């Protein structure tokens, strides 16, 4: 589980980075960082206290596949369709800054950024996805077939 990013720690580091550049006085950088910081805070609020959150687009087949996979275990993820949100582009840019290589799908489990489709499929193949979902409280019981 080395590749997961604890979102709270990441946000703290980002805020320290923002403070450092704000003090230096470069207004253009400060404004961009402030906007990105607001998007990071928005993402933090969106994933807070939810076991599974998926940032998706209605036209993305991989997003649909990730939603279907997670739902197949009995989880009920909170899904944000970025192409149907007025601030979707801003959120997608913040997700890219978090390290999600393609923007969507971006999956958070237990308030931790897990990754995109490649990472979720990798966890599934290694039988590590179900324990993550159980630990996050997204599912309670799982019977292997």
Taking only the tens place, the pLDDT of each residue in 28-67 is 444 455 666 777 888 999 999 999 999 999 999 999 999 9
Return the closest-CA partner of residue 108 out of 48, 64, 31: 48
Residue 25 pLDDT more than 70? no
Domains, the chain, ranges and CATH?
5-136 (3.40.30.10)
Q: 87 vs 20, 28, 70, 81, 83, CA distance in Å?
A: 27, 21, 25, 11, 9
CA distance 54 to 5: 15
The pTM for the full model equals: 0.76
Cis? peptide before 105, omega within 30° of 0: yes
CA distance 82 to 52: 16
List pLDDT tens digits, range 60-110: 999 999 999 999 999 999 999 999 999 999 899 888 887 788 889 999 999
């Amino acid at each position: 589980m080395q590749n997961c990013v604890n979102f709270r720690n990441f946000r703290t580091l980002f805020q320290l980075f923002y403070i450092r550049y704000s003090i230096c006085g470069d207004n253009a950088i400060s404004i961009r960082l402030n906007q990105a910081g607001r998007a990071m805070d928005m993402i933090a609020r969106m994933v807070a206290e939810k076991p599974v959150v998926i940032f998706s687009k209605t036209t993305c087949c991989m997003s649909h596949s990730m939603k279907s996979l997670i739902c197949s275990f009995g989880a009920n993820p909170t899904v944000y369709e970025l192409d149907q949100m007025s601030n979707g582009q801003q959120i997608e840019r913040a997700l890219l800054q978090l390290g999600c290589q393609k923007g969507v799908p971006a999956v958070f489990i237990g308030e931790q950024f897990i990754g995109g489709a490649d990472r979720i499929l990798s966890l599934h193949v290694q039988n590590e996805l179900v324990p993550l979902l159980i630990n996050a409280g997204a599912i309670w019981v799982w019977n292997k077939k």
